[in-house]
């Protein structure tokens, strides 16, 4: 199902650059919203659909693969967003990473969603409450770097008879996530999937260092 790394490097299938080429070998079905609502949504580029499709596949493989090996499976999303995204240019609606994680057949036992936007968290709460009213979900409002201890408090305590494995998804829109945040969560038994915006935020900041500052006058 996945291309070898050598082919990916050659074909630039799922490597996001300015001249993006979609990975045509990916056929995983992706849940799509039947219609929009009046709640806030985030705005994404067309390549986000492939990103969400791969994430949804990974969510399913992870939750299914460990369901009989750990007492509690925890899903953590440090940049959850509002749960629904709008593709710029096409107007197509997509479920965000929290709703995709909640949609897997072998659901996690606990979900922890964090976002710096209070309006996004409020919208996500309403969507989750409507679609998955019985699921155990905790919400953290604020920058994950500043709220990491609160995030950790929501992770169930592990013991010899109560094993806990978490999957932490980290998908910031910029490079603001700190290694100390990752290190703190890694004190638990955690698998990470971290996406870094090297070709967006990093390049944007590099250019700002080399270009002369423009006067505001």
- Is residue 10 in some structural domain? no
Residue 196 belongs to what domain range?
30-210
pLDDT at residue 33, rounded to an integer: 81
pLDDT at residue 49, rounded to an integer: 92
pLDDT at residue 34, rounded to an integer: 64
- Is residue 1 in some structural domain? no
pLDDT at residue 69, rounded to an integer: 93
pLDDT at residue 7, rounded to an integer: 32
Return d(Cα 128, Cα 130) in angstroms, integer: 5
Q: Could you read off the pLDDT tens digit of each residue along the chain, which spans 217 residues?
A: 333 333 333 333 333 333 334 444 444 577 878 678 889 999 999 989 999 999 999 999 999 999 999 999 999 999 999 999 999 998 899 999 999 999 999 999 999 999 999 999 999 999 999 999 999 999 999 999 999 999 999 999 999 999 999 999 999 988 789 999 999 999 999 999 999 766 554 554 455 445 555 444 4
Q: Positive or negative CA dihedral for 18, 24, 28, 34? A: positive
- Is residue 12 in some structural domain? no
Global pTM value = 0.80
- Is residue 14 in some structural domain? no
- Is residue 184 in some structural domain? yes
Q: What is the domain count for the chain?
A: 1
Return d(Cα 99, Cα 69) in angstroms, integer: 24
Using an 8 Å Cβ cutoff, are 64 and 101 in contact? no
- Is residue 23 in some structural domain? no
- Is residue 36 in some structural domain? yes
Using an 8 Å Cβ cutoff, are 26 and 164 in contact? no
- Is residue 8 in some structural domain? no
Return d(Cα 120, Cα 214) in angstroms, integer: 33
CATH number at residue 96: 3.40.50.150
């Amino acid at each position: 199902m996945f291309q070898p790394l050598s082919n990916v490097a050659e074909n630039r299938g799922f490597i996001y650059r300015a001249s993006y080429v979609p990975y045509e070998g990916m056929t995983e079905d992706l849940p799509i919203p039947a219609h929009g609502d009046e709640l806030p949504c985030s705005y994404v580029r067309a390549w986000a659909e492939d990103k969400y499709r791969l994430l949804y596949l990974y969510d399913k493989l992870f939750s299914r693969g460990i369901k009989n090996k750990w007492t509690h499976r925890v899903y953590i999303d440090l940049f959850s967003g509002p749960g629904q995204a709008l593709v710029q240019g096409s107007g197509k609606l997509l479920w965000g990473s929290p709703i995709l994680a909640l949609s897997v057949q072998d659901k996690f036992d606990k979900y922890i969603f964090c976002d710096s936007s209070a309006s996004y968290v409020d919208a996500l709460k309403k969507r989750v409450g409507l679609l998955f009213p019985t699921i155990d979900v905790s919400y953290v409002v604020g920058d994950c770097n500043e709220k990491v201890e609160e995030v950790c408090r929501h992770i169930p305590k592990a013991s010899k008879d109560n094993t806990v494995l978490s999957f932490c998804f980290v998908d910031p829109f910029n490079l603001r996530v700190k290694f100390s945040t990752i290190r703190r969560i890694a004190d638990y038994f955690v698998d990470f999937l971290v996406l870094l915006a090297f070709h967006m935020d990093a390049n944007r900041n590099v250019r700002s260092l080399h270009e002369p500052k423009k006067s505001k006058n």
